[in-house]
Structure 1
Amino acid sequence: MIRFLLVAVIVIGFLILSIPVLIVEWIIGKFSPMTKEISSLRLIQGAFKFILWVAGTKITVIGEENVPKDTPVLYIGNHRSYFDILLTYSRCPIRTGYVAKKEMEKIPLLSNWMKYLHCLFLDRKDIKQGLKTILTAIEKVKSGISICIFPEGTRNKAEDETELLPFHEGSFKIASKSGCPIIPIAMNNTAEIFEAHFPKIKPCHVIVEYCKPVYVKDLDKNDQRHLGEYTQNIILETIKKNKELV
Protein backbone atom coordinates (compact mmCIF):
# COMPACT_ATOMS: atom_id res chain seq x y z
CA MET A 1 0.00 0.00 0.00
CA ILE A 2 2.94 2.34 0.61
CA ARG A 3 3.78 2.53 -3.10
CA PHE A 4 0.13 3.18 -3.95
CA LEU A 5 -0.02 6.04 -1.44
CA LEU A 6 3.27 7.47 -2.71
CA VAL A 7 2.08 7.38 -6.33
CA ALA A 8 -1.26 8.95 -5.36
CA VAL A 9 0.51 11.75 -3.47
CA ILE A 10 2.87 12.35 -6.40
CA VAL A 11 0.05 12.54 -8.94
CA ILE A 12 -2.18 14.80 -6.85
CA GLY A 13 0.77 16.91 -5.74
CA PHE A 14 2.00 17.33 -9.29
CA LEU A 15 -1.41 18.41 -10.57
CA ILE A 16 -1.80 21.01 -7.81
CA LEU A 17 1.77 22.32 -7.85
CA SER A 18 1.78 22.47 -11.64
CA ILE A 19 -0.95 25.12 -11.79
CA PRO A 20 1.64 27.94 -12.12
CA VAL A 21 3.47 25.83 -14.74
CA LEU A 22 0.26 25.50 -16.76
CA ILE A 23 -0.03 29.29 -16.74
CA VAL A 24 3.61 29.76 -17.77
CA GLU A 25 3.22 27.19 -20.53
CA TRP A 26 0.10 28.97 -21.76
CA ILE A 27 2.03 32.26 -21.94
CA ILE A 28 4.93 30.59 -23.76
CA GLY A 29 2.44 29.10 -26.21
CA LYS A 30 1.25 32.58 -27.17
CA PHE A 31 4.71 33.39 -28.49
CA SER A 32 6.09 29.98 -29.48
CA PRO A 33 3.56 27.11 -29.65
CA MET A 34 6.22 24.56 -30.57
CA THR A 35 8.38 25.48 -27.57
CA LYS A 36 5.38 25.07 -25.29
CA GLU A 37 4.44 21.70 -26.77
CA ILE A 38 7.96 20.27 -26.50
CA SER A 39 8.49 21.55 -22.96
CA SER A 40 5.11 20.17 -21.87
CA LEU A 41 5.99 16.81 -23.44
CA ARG A 42 9.36 16.55 -21.69
CA LEU A 43 7.94 17.69 -18.36
CA ILE A 44 5.19 15.05 -18.36
CA GLN A 45 7.61 12.38 -19.58
CA GLY A 46 9.88 13.16 -16.64
CA ALA A 47 6.96 12.90 -14.21
CA PHE A 48 5.87 9.57 -15.71
CA LYS A 49 9.38 8.11 -15.47
CA PHE A 50 9.56 9.17 -11.83
CA ILE A 51 6.23 7.51 -11.05
CA LEU A 52 7.38 4.28 -12.72
CA TRP A 53 10.56 4.39 -10.62
CA VAL A 54 8.56 4.87 -7.43
CA ALA A 55 6.33 1.96 -8.48
CA GLY A 56 9.42 -0.22 -8.75
CA THR A 57 8.76 -1.09 -12.37
CA LYS A 58 11.65 -2.69 -14.23
CA ILE A 59 11.21 -2.09 -17.96
CA THR A 60 12.78 -4.04 -20.80
CA VAL A 61 12.36 -2.20 -24.09
CA ILE A 62 12.80 -4.01 -27.40
CA GLY A 63 12.78 -2.58 -30.92
CA GLU A 64 12.82 1.11 -30.05
CA GLU A 65 14.90 1.63 -33.19
CA ASN A 66 11.72 0.83 -35.16
CA VAL A 67 10.15 4.13 -34.08
CA PRO A 68 10.84 6.95 -36.58
CA LYS A 69 12.27 10.05 -34.91
CA ASP A 70 11.42 12.48 -37.70
CA THR A 71 7.89 11.61 -38.79
CA PRO A 72 4.55 11.12 -37.03
CA VAL A 73 3.20 7.62 -36.53
CA LEU A 74 0.11 5.84 -35.28
CA TYR A 75 0.99 3.83 -32.18
CA ILE A 76 -1.28 0.83 -31.62
CA GLY A 77 -1.00 -1.13 -28.38
CA ASN A 78 -2.69 -3.78 -26.26
CA HIS A 79 -4.16 -2.37 -23.07
CA ARG A 80 -4.28 -4.04 -19.64
CA SER A 81 -3.20 -1.33 -17.22
CA TYR A 82 -3.47 2.38 -16.45
CA PHE A 83 0.33 2.23 -16.43
CA ASP A 84 0.37 1.41 -20.16
CA ILE A 85 0.05 5.14 -20.78
CA LEU A 86 3.03 5.98 -18.55
CA LEU A 87 5.15 3.20 -20.05
CA THR A 88 4.59 4.28 -23.63
CA TYR A 89 4.21 8.05 -23.37
CA SER A 90 7.46 8.42 -21.45
CA ARG A 91 9.31 7.13 -24.54
CA CYS A 92 7.67 9.13 -27.36
CA PRO A 93 10.43 10.92 -29.33
CA ILE A 94 8.18 13.62 -30.79
CA ARG A 95 4.89 15.33 -29.94
CA THR A 96 2.26 12.68 -29.39
CA GLY A 97 -1.41 12.80 -28.50
CA TYR A 98 -3.29 9.91 -26.94
CA VAL A 99 -6.91 9.06 -27.64
CA ALA A 100 -8.62 8.82 -24.25
CA LYS A 101 -12.14 8.15 -23.11
CA LYS A 102 -14.45 11.17 -22.99
CA GLU A 103 -14.89 10.91 -19.21
CA MET A 104 -11.30 12.03 -18.63
CA GLU A 105 -12.08 15.45 -20.06
CA LYS A 106 -13.99 16.24 -16.86
CA ILE A 107 -10.95 15.78 -14.56
CA PRO A 108 -9.61 19.23 -13.56
CA LEU A 109 -5.94 20.00 -14.30
CA LEU A 110 -5.32 16.54 -15.79
CA SER A 111 -7.49 17.42 -18.78
CA ASN A 112 -5.61 20.72 -19.15
CA TRP A 113 -2.31 18.90 -19.46
CA MET A 114 -3.85 16.39 -21.84
CA LYS A 115 -5.09 19.15 -24.12
CA TYR A 116 -1.64 20.78 -24.04
CA LEU A 117 -0.26 17.44 -25.22
CA HIS A 118 -2.73 17.06 -28.12
CA CYS A 119 -4.73 14.29 -26.48
CA LEU A 120 -8.19 13.67 -27.89
CA PHE A 121 -11.31 12.58 -26.04
CA LEU A 122 -13.38 9.82 -27.60
CA ASP A 123 -17.07 9.40 -26.84
CA ARG A 124 -17.48 5.65 -27.23
CA LYS A 125 -21.28 5.90 -27.09
CA ASP A 126 -21.67 8.47 -29.87
CA ILE A 127 -20.65 7.19 -33.29
CA LYS A 128 -20.89 10.65 -34.90
CA GLN A 129 -18.66 12.28 -32.28
CA GLY A 130 -16.30 9.31 -32.44
CA LEU A 131 -15.89 9.86 -36.18
CA LYS A 132 -15.10 13.53 -35.55
CA THR A 133 -12.39 12.50 -33.10
CA ILE A 134 -10.82 10.18 -35.69
CA LEU A 135 -10.93 12.95 -38.30
CA THR A 136 -9.23 15.32 -35.84
CA ALA A 137 -6.57 12.67 -35.19
CA ILE A 138 -5.93 12.41 -38.93
CA GLU A 139 -5.36 16.16 -39.10
CA LYS A 140 -3.03 15.97 -36.08
CA VAL A 141 -0.89 13.37 -37.86
CA LYS A 142 -0.81 15.44 -41.05
CA SER A 143 0.48 18.37 -38.99
CA GLY A 144 3.38 16.32 -37.59
CA ILE A 145 1.91 14.94 -34.33
CA SER A 146 1.92 11.23 -33.58
CA ILE A 147 -1.21 9.59 -32.21
CA CYS A 148 -1.48 6.63 -29.84
CA ILE A 149 -4.62 4.60 -29.41
CA PHE A 150 -5.51 1.35 -27.67
CA PRO A 151 -8.00 -0.12 -30.16
CA GLU A 152 -9.44 -2.72 -27.77
CA GLY A 153 -11.47 0.26 -26.58
CA THR A 154 -11.07 -0.42 -22.87
CA ARG A 155 -8.69 -2.15 -20.48
CA ASN A 156 -8.61 -5.88 -21.12
CA LYS A 157 -9.29 -7.69 -17.83
CA ALA A 158 -8.83 -11.26 -19.09
CA GLU A 159 -6.56 -13.39 -16.90
CA ASP A 160 -4.53 -14.51 -19.90
CA GLU A 161 -2.81 -11.54 -21.53
CA THR A 162 -2.86 -13.33 -24.88
CA GLU A 163 -6.67 -13.11 -24.95
CA LEU A 164 -6.95 -9.77 -26.72
CA LEU A 165 -10.24 -8.02 -27.26
CA PRO A 166 -11.19 -7.28 -30.89
CA PHE A 167 -9.40 -4.24 -32.34
CA HIS A 168 -11.83 -1.55 -33.53
CA GLU A 169 -11.14 -1.04 -37.22
CA GLY A 170 -12.12 2.64 -37.16
CA SER A 171 -8.96 3.51 -35.26
CA PHE A 172 -6.84 2.50 -38.24
CA LYS A 173 -8.34 5.14 -40.52
CA ILE A 174 -5.85 7.48 -38.84
CA ALA A 175 -3.07 5.65 -40.67
CA SER A 176 -4.86 4.76 -43.90
CA LYS A 177 -6.09 8.33 -44.46
CA SER A 178 -2.90 10.13 -43.38
CA GLY A 179 -0.38 7.72 -44.87
CA CYS A 180 1.61 7.48 -41.64
CA PRO A 181 3.23 4.21 -40.52
CA ILE A 182 1.63 2.10 -37.82
CA ILE A 183 3.88 1.13 -34.91
CA PRO A 184 2.41 -1.88 -33.08
CA ILE A 185 3.35 -1.92 -29.37
CA ALA A 186 3.22 -5.26 -27.54
CA MET A 187 3.26 -5.05 -23.74
CA ASN A 188 3.71 -7.96 -21.35
CA ASN A 189 2.91 -8.13 -17.63
CA THR A 190 1.73 -4.53 -17.19
CA ALA A 191 -1.33 -5.54 -15.15
CA GLU A 192 1.09 -6.88 -12.52
CA ILE A 193 2.05 -3.32 -11.62
CA PHE A 194 -1.38 -2.51 -10.19
CA GLU A 195 -4.55 -4.10 -11.54
CA ALA A 196 -3.68 -7.72 -10.70
CA HIS A 197 -3.55 -6.93 -6.97
CA PHE A 198 -5.57 -3.72 -6.62
CA PRO A 199 -5.17 -1.51 -4.62
CA LYS A 200 -1.51 -2.41 -4.14
CA ILE A 201 1.26 -1.31 -6.49
CA LYS A 202 4.02 -3.91 -6.61
CA PRO A 203 7.47 -4.00 -8.20
CA CYS A 204 7.48 -6.11 -11.35
CA HIS A 205 9.18 -6.63 -14.69
CA VAL A 206 7.40 -5.56 -17.87
CA ILE A 207 8.30 -5.94 -21.53
CA VAL A 208 7.54 -3.23 -24.08
CA GLU A 209 8.32 -4.11 -27.69
CA TYR A 210 7.98 -1.73 -30.61
CA CYS A 211 7.33 -3.88 -33.67
CA LYS A 212 8.47 -3.00 -37.18
CA PRO A 213 6.48 -0.22 -38.88
CA VAL A 214 3.46 -1.23 -40.90
CA TYR A 215 2.89 0.81 -44.06
CA VAL A 216 -0.69 0.45 -45.18
CA LYS A 217 0.07 1.09 -48.84
CA ASP A 218 2.48 -1.87 -48.90
CA LEU A 219 -0.13 -4.38 -47.70
CA ASP A 220 -2.35 -6.44 -49.98
CA LYS A 221 -5.97 -5.38 -50.37
CA ASN A 222 -7.34 -7.91 -47.91
CA ASP A 223 -4.98 -6.82 -45.12
CA GLN A 224 -5.76 -3.18 -45.87
CA ARG A 225 -9.44 -3.94 -45.32
CA HIS A 226 -8.70 -5.69 -42.02
CA LEU A 227 -5.97 -3.55 -40.51
CA GLY A 228 -7.24 -4.19 -37.00
CA GLU A 229 -6.96 -7.95 -37.34
CA TYR A 230 -3.61 -7.67 -39.13
CA THR A 231 -2.07 -5.47 -36.43
CA GLN A 232 -3.63 -7.48 -33.61
CA ASN A 233 -1.94 -10.63 -34.95
CA ILE A 234 1.45 -8.88 -34.90
CA ILE A 235 0.95 -7.75 -31.30
CA LEU A 236 -0.41 -11.14 -30.20
CA GLU A 237 2.53 -13.08 -31.65
CA THR A 238 4.95 -10.63 -30.02
CA ILE A 239 3.25 -10.97 -26.62
CA LYS A 240 3.51 -14.77 -26.90
CA LYS A 241 7.17 -14.53 -27.89
CA ASN A 242 8.04 -12.29 -24.95
CA LYS A 243 6.17 -14.20 -22.22
CA GLU A 244 9.30 -16.17 -21.41
CA LEU A 245 11.26 -12.94 -20.82
CA VAL A 246 9.10 -11.72 -17.93
Structure 2
Amino acid sequence: MFRFICIVIFLVSFLILSIPVFFVEWVIGKFNREKRDYSSLRIVQWAFKVILKITGVKTTVIGEENVPDEPVLFIGNHRSFFDILLTYSRCRRLTGYVAKKEMEHIPLLSTWMRYLYCLFLDRENPKEGLKTILQAIDYVKKGISICIFPEGTRNKGEELSMLPFKDGAFKIATKTNCAIIPISMNNTCAIFEKQFPRIKKVHVIIEYGKPIYPDQLEKEEKKHIGNYVQNILQETINRNAEML
Protein backbone atom coordinates (compact mmCIF):
# COMPACT_ATOMS: atom_id res chain seq x y z
CA MET A 1 0.00 0.00 0.00
CA PHE A 2 2.94 2.33 0.73
CA ARG A 3 4.19 2.04 -2.87
CA PHE A 4 0.71 2.81 -4.21
CA ILE A 5 0.48 5.98 -2.09
CA CYS A 6 3.96 7.08 -3.19
CA ILE A 7 3.03 6.62 -6.85
CA VAL A 8 -0.21 8.57 -6.47
CA ILE A 9 1.62 11.44 -4.73
CA PHE A 10 4.35 11.48 -7.39
CA LEU A 11 1.87 11.34 -10.30
CA VAL A 12 -0.33 14.14 -8.95
CA SER A 13 2.72 16.28 -8.16
CA PHE A 14 4.19 15.68 -11.62
CA LEU A 15 0.98 16.66 -13.39
CA ILE A 16 0.52 19.83 -11.33
CA LEU A 17 4.15 20.92 -11.61
CA SER A 18 4.09 20.25 -15.35
CA ILE A 19 1.54 23.03 -15.97
CA PRO A 20 4.25 25.68 -16.60
CA VAL A 21 6.21 23.06 -18.56
CA PHE A 22 3.36 22.88 -21.10
CA PHE A 23 3.87 26.58 -21.82
CA VAL A 24 7.63 26.13 -22.22
CA GLU A 25 7.10 23.18 -24.54
CA TRP A 26 4.57 25.18 -26.54
CA VAL A 27 7.10 27.98 -27.01
CA ILE A 28 9.82 25.49 -28.02
CA GLY A 29 7.42 23.97 -30.53
CA LYS A 30 6.88 27.34 -32.19
CA PHE A 31 10.56 27.40 -33.16
CA ASN A 32 11.48 23.72 -33.41
CA ARG A 33 8.68 21.13 -33.42
CA GLU A 34 11.02 18.13 -33.41
CA LYS A 35 12.92 19.47 -30.40
CA ARG A 36 9.64 19.93 -28.52
CA ASP A 37 8.47 16.46 -29.44
CA TYR A 38 11.62 14.79 -28.14
CA SER A 39 11.86 16.92 -25.01
CA SER A 40 8.24 16.00 -24.19
CA LEU A 41 9.05 12.35 -24.84
CA ARG A 42 12.05 12.36 -22.49
CA ILE A 43 10.17 14.21 -19.73
CA VAL A 44 7.36 11.67 -19.72
CA GLN A 45 9.79 8.77 -19.98
CA TRP A 46 11.63 10.13 -16.93
CA ALA A 47 8.36 10.24 -14.97
CA PHE A 48 7.48 6.69 -16.02
CA LYS A 49 10.93 5.43 -14.98
CA VAL A 50 10.52 7.05 -11.56
CA ILE A 51 7.16 5.32 -11.10
CA LEU A 52 8.64 1.97 -12.15
CA LYS A 53 11.50 2.54 -9.71
CA ILE A 54 8.96 3.04 -6.91
CA THR A 55 7.24 -0.24 -7.80
CA GLY A 56 10.54 -2.10 -7.47
CA VAL A 57 9.70 -4.14 -10.56
CA LYS A 58 12.52 -6.23 -12.04
CA THR A 59 12.39 -6.25 -15.83
CA THR A 60 13.98 -8.77 -18.18
CA VAL A 61 14.04 -7.40 -21.73
CA ILE A 62 14.65 -9.67 -24.72
CA GLY A 63 15.10 -8.77 -28.39
CA GLU A 64 15.12 -4.98 -28.13
CA GLU A 65 17.67 -4.99 -30.94
CA ASN A 66 14.87 -6.23 -33.23
CA VAL A 67 13.28 -2.75 -33.27
CA PRO A 68 14.48 -0.98 -36.44
CA ASP A 69 15.29 2.73 -36.51
CA GLU A 70 12.16 3.60 -38.48
CA PRO A 71 8.46 4.14 -37.73
CA VAL A 72 6.84 0.84 -36.74
CA LEU A 73 3.58 -0.55 -35.41
CA PHE A 74 4.05 -2.04 -31.96
CA ILE A 75 1.50 -4.76 -31.15
CA GLY A 76 1.29 -6.02 -27.57
CA ASN A 77 -0.80 -8.12 -25.25
CA HIS A 78 -2.47 -6.10 -22.51
CA ARG A 79 -3.04 -7.13 -18.89
CA SER A 80 -2.00 -4.14 -16.79
CA PHE A 81 -1.99 -0.35 -16.55
CA PHE A 82 1.78 -0.75 -16.21
CA ASP A 83 2.11 -2.20 -19.74
CA ILE A 84 2.18 1.36 -21.05
CA LEU A 85 4.82 2.55 -18.58
CA LEU A 86 7.02 -0.50 -19.16
CA THR A 87 7.02 -0.15 -22.95
CA TYR A 88 6.81 3.61 -23.42
CA SER A 89 9.77 4.24 -21.13
CA ARG A 90 11.88 2.24 -23.62
CA CYS A 91 10.83 3.95 -26.87
CA ARG A 92 13.78 5.46 -28.72
CA ARG A 93 11.65 7.21 -31.37
CA LEU A 94 8.50 9.28 -31.17
CA THR A 95 5.66 6.87 -30.49
CA GLY A 96 1.96 7.53 -30.13
CA TYR A 97 -0.16 5.09 -28.14
CA VAL A 98 -3.78 4.36 -28.99
CA ALA A 99 -5.81 4.78 -25.80
CA LYS A 100 -9.48 4.49 -24.94
CA LYS A 101 -11.62 7.57 -25.53
CA GLU A 102 -12.32 8.05 -21.82
CA MET A 103 -8.69 9.07 -21.18
CA GLU A 104 -9.17 12.17 -23.30
CA HIS A 105 -11.11 13.74 -20.43
CA ILE A 106 -8.41 13.37 -17.75
CA PRO A 107 -7.00 16.88 -17.10
CA LEU A 108 -3.26 17.45 -17.70
CA LEU A 109 -2.61 13.77 -18.48
CA SER A 110 -4.52 14.09 -21.77
CA THR A 111 -2.46 17.21 -22.60
CA TRP A 112 0.77 15.24 -22.31
CA MET A 113 -0.79 12.48 -24.40
CA ARG A 114 -1.67 14.88 -27.20
CA TYR A 115 1.86 16.31 -27.10
CA LEU A 116 3.12 12.75 -27.60
CA TYR A 117 0.85 11.92 -30.56
CA CYS A 118 -1.39 9.58 -28.60
CA LEU A 119 -4.78 8.84 -30.16
CA PHE A 120 -8.09 8.33 -28.41
CA LEU A 121 -10.18 5.46 -29.77
CA ASP A 122 -13.96 5.40 -29.42
CA ARG A 123 -14.65 1.66 -29.31
CA GLU A 124 -18.41 2.18 -29.51
CA ASN A 125 -18.36 4.29 -32.67
CA PRO A 126 -17.00 2.52 -35.79
CA LYS A 127 -16.93 5.75 -37.82
CA GLU A 128 -14.83 7.56 -35.22
CA GLY A 129 -12.69 4.44 -34.80
CA LEU A 130 -11.89 4.52 -38.51
CA LYS A 131 -10.84 8.16 -38.22
CA THR A 132 -8.44 7.20 -35.45
CA ILE A 133 -6.88 4.45 -37.58
CA LEU A 134 -6.53 6.85 -40.52
CA GLN A 135 -4.82 9.37 -38.24
CA ALA A 136 -2.45 6.65 -37.03
CA ILE A 137 -1.62 5.79 -40.65
CA ASP A 138 -0.83 9.45 -41.29
CA TYR A 139 1.44 9.56 -38.23
CA VAL A 140 3.42 6.53 -39.43
CA LYS A 141 3.86 8.16 -42.84
CA LYS A 142 5.28 11.19 -41.01
CA GLY A 143 7.82 9.04 -39.13
CA ILE A 144 5.97 8.47 -35.85
CA SER A 145 5.61 4.93 -34.50
CA ILE A 146 2.28 3.71 -33.15
CA CYS A 147 1.64 1.27 -30.31
CA ILE A 148 -1.72 -0.44 -29.95
CA PHE A 149 -3.13 -3.29 -27.89
CA PRO A 150 -5.47 -5.07 -30.34
CA GLU A 151 -7.35 -6.93 -27.60
CA GLY A 152 -9.18 -3.63 -27.17
CA THR A 153 -9.09 -3.67 -23.38
CA ARG A 154 -7.10 -5.14 -20.51
CA ASN A 155 -7.42 -8.91 -20.44
CA LYS A 156 -8.56 -10.01 -16.98
CA GLY A 157 -8.56 -13.72 -17.80
CA GLU A 158 -5.95 -16.42 -17.25
CA GLU A 159 -2.32 -15.31 -17.10
CA LEU A 160 -1.26 -16.85 -20.41
CA SER A 161 -4.46 -16.07 -22.31
CA MET A 162 -5.28 -13.31 -24.77
CA LEU A 163 -8.55 -11.85 -25.99
CA PRO A 164 -9.22 -12.02 -29.76
CA PHE A 165 -7.34 -9.34 -31.69
CA LYS A 166 -9.35 -6.66 -33.49
CA ASP A 167 -8.25 -6.55 -37.12
CA GLY A 168 -8.65 -2.78 -37.63
CA ALA A 169 -5.39 -2.09 -35.83
CA PHE A 170 -3.39 -3.92 -38.49
CA LYS A 171 -4.53 -1.57 -41.27
CA ILE A 172 -1.92 0.82 -39.86
CA ALA A 173 0.75 -1.60 -41.10
CA THR A 174 -0.90 -2.95 -44.25
CA LYS A 175 -1.59 0.56 -45.58
CA THR A 176 1.96 1.83 -44.89
CA ASN A 177 3.94 -1.44 -45.04
CA CYS A 178 5.69 -0.41 -41.84
CA ALA A 179 7.18 -3.18 -39.72
CA ILE A 180 5.00 -4.80 -37.08
CA ILE A 181 6.93 -5.39 -33.85
CA PRO A 182 5.22 -7.87 -31.51
CA ILE A 183 5.73 -7.05 -27.81
CA SER A 184 4.97 -9.90 -25.45
CA MET A 185 4.66 -9.16 -21.74
CA ASN A 186 4.58 -11.70 -18.93
CA ASN A 187 3.45 -11.17 -15.34
CA THR A 188 2.65 -7.44 -15.60
CA CYS A 189 -0.74 -7.80 -13.89
CA ALA A 190 1.10 -9.12 -10.80
CA ILE A 191 2.44 -5.60 -10.24
CA PHE A 192 -0.93 -4.12 -9.36
CA GLU A 193 -4.12 -5.70 -10.68
CA LYS A 194 -3.81 -9.04 -8.86
CA GLN A 195 -3.75 -7.43 -5.43
CA PHE A 196 -5.39 -4.01 -6.02
CA PRO A 197 -4.67 -1.48 -4.56
CA ARG A 198 -1.30 -2.81 -3.40
CA ILE A 199 1.81 -2.56 -5.58
CA LYS A 200 3.96 -5.67 -5.52
CA LYS A 201 7.65 -5.99 -6.36
CA VAL A 202 7.68 -8.64 -9.11
CA HIS A 203 9.65 -9.91 -12.10
CA VAL A 204 8.23 -9.17 -15.56
CA ILE A 205 9.49 -10.22 -18.97
CA ILE A 206 9.22 -8.12 -22.12
CA GLU A 207 10.20 -9.54 -25.49
CA TYR A 208 10.35 -7.63 -28.75
CA GLY A 209 9.79 -9.93 -31.72
CA LYS A 210 11.44 -9.71 -35.12
CA PRO A 211 9.98 -7.19 -37.59
CA ILE A 212 7.04 -8.42 -39.66
CA TYR A 213 6.60 -6.59 -42.97
CA PRO A 214 3.11 -7.16 -44.45
CA ASP A 215 4.31 -7.24 -48.05
CA GLN A 216 6.68 -10.11 -47.20
CA LEU A 217 3.93 -12.36 -45.86
CA GLU A 218 2.23 -15.15 -47.79
CA LYS A 219 -1.22 -14.30 -49.16
CA GLU A 220 -3.10 -16.22 -46.45
CA GLU A 221 -0.87 -14.86 -43.67
CA LYS A 222 -1.54 -11.31 -44.82
CA LYS A 223 -5.26 -12.00 -45.14
CA HIS A 224 -5.37 -13.16 -41.50
CA ILE A 225 -2.55 -10.94 -40.23
CA GLY A 226 -4.19 -10.40 -36.84
CA ASN A 227 -4.24 -14.14 -36.13
CA TYR A 228 -0.73 -14.48 -37.50
CA VAL A 229 0.71 -11.88 -35.11
CA GLN A 230 -1.38 -13.10 -32.18
CA ASN A 231 -0.06 -16.64 -32.63
CA ILE A 232 3.52 -15.32 -32.51
CA LEU A 233 2.75 -13.42 -29.30
CA GLN A 234 1.02 -16.43 -27.75
CA GLU A 235 3.99 -18.69 -28.44
CA THR A 236 6.37 -16.13 -26.93
CA ILE A 237 4.23 -15.61 -23.83
CA ASN A 238 4.01 -19.37 -23.26
CA ARG A 239 7.76 -19.82 -23.68
CA ASN A 240 8.73 -16.92 -21.41
CA ALA A 241 6.38 -18.04 -18.64
CA GLU A 242 8.97 -20.73 -17.87
CA MET A 243 11.49 -18.02 -16.95
CA LEU A 244 9.41 -16.62 -14.08
Q: Same fold (TM over 0.5)?
A: yes
Bin the TM-score by the shorter chain.
Answer: over 0.9
User: Which residue of structure 2 lines up, in the alignment, with residue 96 of structure 1?
Assistant: 95
Q: Does 1:55 align with 2:94?
A: no
Amino acid at match of 1:51: I
User: Which residue of structure 1 lines up, in the alignment, with residue 162 of structure 2?
Assistant: 164
CA distance in 2, matches of 1:225, 1:103: 32
CA distance in 1, matches of 2:174, 2:137: 9
Residues 191-225 of structure 1, C-alpha deviations (whole Å, 9 max, x = no match): 00000000100100000000111110011111111
User: Which residue of structure 2 lines up, in the alignment, with residue 144 of structure 1?
Assistant: 143
User: Which residue of structure 2 lines up, in the alignment, with residue 173 of structure 1?
Assistant: 171
The 5 A counterparts of 1:57-72 are 57-69=57-69, 71-72=70-71
Q: Does 1:30 align with 2:30?
A: yes
User: Which residue of structure 1 lines up, in the alignment, with residue 198 of structure 2?
Assistant: 200
CA distance in 2, matches of 1:46, 1:103: 25
User: Which residue of structure 2 lines up, in the alignment, with residue 190 of structure 1?
Assistant: 188
Give 1:19 deviation, angstroms. 0.5
Work out the percentage of aligned pairs sharing the same amino acid.
Answer: 64
Q: Please state whether the residue corresponding to 1:5 is helix, strand or coil.
A: helix
CA distance in 2, matches of 1:132, 1:225: 22
Give 1:162 deviation, angstroms. 1.9
- For the aligned residue pairs, the C-alpha RMSD in angstroms reads 0.5
CA distance in 2, matches of 1:11, 1:232: 33
User: Which residue of structure 2 lines up, in the alignment, with residue 83 of structure 1?
Assistant: 82
Give 1:161 deviation, angstroms. 2.1
CA distance in 2, matches of 1:54, 1:74: 29
User: Which residue of structure 1 lines up, in the alignment, with residue 236 of structure 2?
Assistant: 238
CA distance in 2, matches of 1:58, 1:7: 17
CA distance in 2, matches of 1:122, 1:43: 24
Residues 142-188 of structure 1, C-alpha deviations (whole Å, 9 max, x = no match): 00000000000000001x22211000000000000011000000000
User: Which residue of structure 2 lines up, in the alignment, with residue 13 of structure 1?
Assistant: 13
The 5 A counterparts of 1:113-128 are 113-128=112-127
List, as ranges, runs of 4+ consecutive aligned residues in structure 1 with deviation greater than 3 Å: none
Q: Which 5+ residue runs of structure 2 have no aligned equivalent? A: none
Q: Please state whether the residue corresponding to 2:203 is helix, strand or coil.
A: strand
CA distance in 1, matches of 2:187, 2:234: 13
CA distance in 1, matches of 2:167, 2:29: 35
TM-score in terms of structure 2 length: 0.99
TM-score in terms of structure 1 length: 0.98
